[in-house]
A and B are shown apart, each in its own frame.
Chain A
């Protein structure tokens, strides 16, 4: 552009290099594009979502009426009975319950496997990690669907049991419902927990556990007083990465609940897609956002954002 004014015949290449000479321009060029993108497609939409939750929407034109109101929040908790009987409160409480059980289940199941992976190298490690990563990289939707085939009154589990003569009729536990959802979510988010625990167990100096054992500590005491405190960051970050997505889950409860269980993600989706009730949806979303902020605030007392690396 500035060929006329620039001092004698600078080549395009030199100009390009020249643009990177000052520290400020380097910083601007590297940090700028992502900043613009995040501002336009993350910060602004989320900020407006918070704002929309405090406004009302014209039901005919879907235009937002920019007057502050608590109407959306009232609507969440308004019903025939007290607030704990509203659809919103019940699905929120149920979502918390399901997410918490899923997190605990993932932790209990993933710990032995992560320990094994951290202690054993070579072929065992490669094969196991491949077998774990493959379902992990397989589409989430496919995994939820595969459990949809397993559960249900005439699903694979029930029909196999009946065929083998173990039961006479379909078992309620293998029908669609809360247990099925918990199994599906545990299957979906198990790898997050495993990889977090593995990353932290892998950095653990196992001579410490040997020392504890030599000094007479029992296995249980070694686990409780040596291993657990050292892998706590892994446990916390793993739990975050299971709890947070499980709380906002949509597909799994949809397929494995079959209308009997309404988690908060589905509730919001149904209001938005059938009524375009963006005020209600935004206000309900605020409860998910707030839960996450609290969860992270608690977690950051023990871990830094760096520890949340990997996945």
Chain B
């Protein structure tokens, strides 16, 4: 196709808007084509970069020799069997699920309420309030972990006479603060685009405020609340460093996995890690088809496909 137009280009020029700069049409087209292909090639290479270590790990989780490919000795499910038979690991997985659920529930309750305050009312120091609400997400885990460790272990008992033994509840409290910003950001962005005249209409028609909230406001905001909960849950579930500092002697999944790597038990680590990637893939695929996860994550509002 490009060769056919070759001779005609000099005389039959397309309108100037199509042409862009003074280069010939063939040249221009080829450049466009190359740039387009180049962009796809870069994107492809990046996806390979993002996926190759995870893919290697997943293959190794089924391999007899679990740390490198060579010499290859065949596939097995033995690592998975051993992993799910590991009582201590399964207990820590259960702890993680409990911690994440409780922490995300607290974060969601506090975050939703705070979002209403931020989106609906003007009050003094509102910007400061918002900044503090977002702060736990921004502070590095090492800093928050140490601050809370000192707080729970030394300051609360010494200065205030309150003793919370580091363990389950200290991790829940820590993660409830850590999860708050994720709920806050998602729910406020939803509330900002909320058409309040819907509530006014309901009230004008004689509905009491509680029913208005239940029948009008909540259904509209619910997807954002759900996404906020999911985010807070995942953040808690995958957090290592905060839990590591405030856990006392209790193990959650990440801290167990950390000791497994430290003491070099690769087979189980590959299996449990691959299992988690698989579970998250399923959850994410479902979530992406149910709600606008992309919009929530990228902070852009409802550009439905």
Contacts and interface: CB of A to CB of B under 8 A. Distances in A.
Given A141-B254, A247-B140, A38 B54 contact: no
A89 interface: no
B223 to A, nearest CB: 16
A122 B304 CA distance: 10
Contacts of A150: 52-53, 56
A202 B294 CA distance: 12
Contacts of B9: none
A138 interface: yes
B39 A116 contact: yes
A17 B60 CA distance: 59
A147 interface: yes
Given A34-B111, A248-B141, A133 B297 contact: yes
Contacts of B75: none
A281 B140 CA distance: 14
Interface of B is mostly: helix
Interface string A225-254: 000000000000000000011011011000
Nearest to A121: B305
A289 B139 CA distance: 8
Nearest to B272: A142
Given A31-B129, A141-B257, A42 B136 contact: yes
A187 B21 contact: no
B56 A156 contact: yes
A133 B284 contact: yes
Nearest to A115: B39
A268 B241 CA distance: 12
B46 interface: yes
Interface stretch (B83-91, B150-158, B193-201): B150-158
B3 interface: no
Interface stretch (A1-9, A70-78, A80-88, A213-221): A213-221
B163 to A, nearest CB: 14
Interface string A7-50: 00000010011001001001101111111011001111110110
A163 B130 CA distance: 56
Interface centre among A20, A145, A147, A203 (most CB of B within 10 A): A145
Contact of A17 (B52, B132, B185, B209): B209
B151 A45 contact: yes
Contact of B110 (A34, A132, A135, A309): A34
Interface string B1-27: 000000000000000110011000000
Interface residues of B, number: 103
A145 B57 contact: yes
A112 B54 contact: no
A176 interface: no
Contacts of B277: 134, 138, 142
Interface string A116-145: 100001100110111111110111111101
Given A31-B114, A42-B132, A141-B258, A129 B185 contact: no
Interface in A173-195: 187, 190, 195
Contact of A30 (B54, B117, B234): B117
Nearest to A240: B138
Nearest to B184: A34
Contacts of B140: 244-245, 247-248, 265, 288, 292
Contacts of A46: 139, 147
Interface in B196-235: 208-210, 234
Contacts of A255: 261
Contacts of A138: 54, 238, 276-277, 280
A159 B138 contact: no
B99 interface: no
A149 interface: yes
Interface string A51-80: 010000000001110000000000000000
Contacts of A187: 49-50, 53
B241 A126 contact: no
A310 interface: yes
Contacts of A294: none
Contacts of B270: 149
3 closest residue pairs by CB, A with B: A248-B140, A310-B299, A31-B117
6 contacts: A113-B46, A133-B288, A135-B54, A142-B54, A269-B244, A310-B299
Given A112-B39, A125-B305, 6 more contacts: A34-B133, A122-B305, A138-B277, A141-B257, A251-B258, A305-B130
Interface of A: 13, 16-17, 20, 23, 26-27, 29-35, 37-38, 41-46, 48-49, 52, 62-64, 109, 112-113, 115-116, 121-122, 125-126, 128-135, 137-143, 145-150, 154-156, 159-160, 163, 187, 190, 195, 198-199, 202-203, 213-214, 216, 218-219, 244-245, 247-248, 250-251, 255, 265, 268-269, 272, 278, 281-282, 285, 288-289, 292, 296, 305, 308-311
